[in-house]
Amino acid sequence: MEDDNKTVIITTLNDAWAEPNSIFELFVESFRIGIDTERLLKHLVVVCLDDKAFGRCLTSLPHGHCFQLRTKSGNNFESEAFFMSSGYLDMMWTRIHFLSSVLQMGYSFVFTDTDIMWLRDPFPRFFKEADFQIACDSFNGNSYDRHNKPNGGFTYVRSNDRTINFYKFWYFSRRAFPKLHDQDVLNRIKFDPFVKRIGLKMRFLDTAYFGGFCQPSSNLHKVCTMHANCCVGLNNKINDLAILLQDWTRFLSNQPNTTNLHPSWSVPQNCRYVRFFSDM
């Protein structure tokens, strides 16, 4: 991991995702059973969006870094925020504003949604020269091509003047697109002349290493992370992520006897139908 003291792994958590037998438990478990990932837990900062999430974080990670975010508006993000609801939009933009402040404090970060399973240490797969690199719902094979479909649920961002200016621009661009969430706004501004003018080095991460239910990684010998994207509904995500970790545990238990085999996922299952309708 590069510059251990100045790079943090950040996720956000509200009570709906922190319930017992829910997403957060699966997320933490993935670090514990992944390849060379358990050591990364000491770099994990859990930004809790309500009191209950903070309490559950302290219970699940007694030696971890649990941070309770207090918003000036007093917004409470305790319940599940349904996609594109006003609560969802507020939560997404609160996240962008917080991450902007992290960069301004001089910290680089990996931001990860909690419905992403960490199966291998991803740092060896990051681009050395990039300022801002982001996972994709759909990757077209060219990591420089801004026509890739990014997913803001997983980013690696180095703290420097270019990224600080970019995150400020991203956050303030919400005023130009008041009905869009942060990811859709990113898709608009990634082509903006301002991004070229500040010299931001942007790269898109290959789904072979950073996969998800939209475009699963097909090689368990390479995969670093898997995201429950293209899937709506907390219970659908929990079901399929639990099965994914079972697949992964089975794969690990068969090592090293699988080097000439091509093991595959048995997911998505519940999320398959959600993906089908969302892609229409």
Torsion on CA atoms 44, 86, 100, 14, rounded to nearest 10: -20
Q: How many domains does one find in the chain?
A: 2
Whether residues 157 and 273 share a domain: the answer is no
3-state secondary structure 42-107: HHEEEEECCHHHHHHHHHHCCCCEEEECCCCCCCCCCCCCCCCCHHHHHHHHHHHHHHHHHHHCCC
* Residue numbers of the domain that contains 36: 4-210
Q: Is residue 241 part of a domain?
A: yes
Q: Is residue 218 part of a domain?
A: no
* pTM of the shown model: 0.90
Whether residues 118 and 69 share a domain: the answer is yes
Residue 219 is encoded by which pair of tokens? 């090689």
Q: Is residue 43 part of a domain?
A: yes
Whether residues 123 and 182 share a domain: the answer is yes
Taking only the tens of pLDDT, the chain with its 280 residues reads 666 669 999 999 988 898 888 899 999 999 999 999 999 999 999 999 889 999 999 998 878 899 998 755 444 444 444 444 455 567 777 889 999 999 999 999 999 999 999 999 999 999 999 999 999 999 999 999 999 999 999 999 999 999 999 999 999 999 898 878 888 999 999 999 999 999 999 999 999 999 999 999 999 999 999 999 999 999 999 999 999 999 999 999 987 765 556 789 999 999 986 665 555 4
Query: 160, 180, 210: which is the final residue of a domain?
Result: 210
CB-based contact 64:44 (threshold 8 Å): yes
**Buried b / exposed e across 257-272, counting CB within 10 Å, b at 16+?**
eeeeeeeebebbebbe
Query: 180, 210, 240: which is the final residue of a domain?
Result: 210
Residues 6+ apart with CB under 8 A from 147: 140
Whether residues 205 and 235 share a domain: the answer is no
The DSSP code for 40 is G
Whether residues 118 and 256 share a domain: the answer is no
- Alpha carbons 130 and 212: distance in angstroms, whole number: 22
Residue 156 carries which side chain, given as an amino acid letter? Y
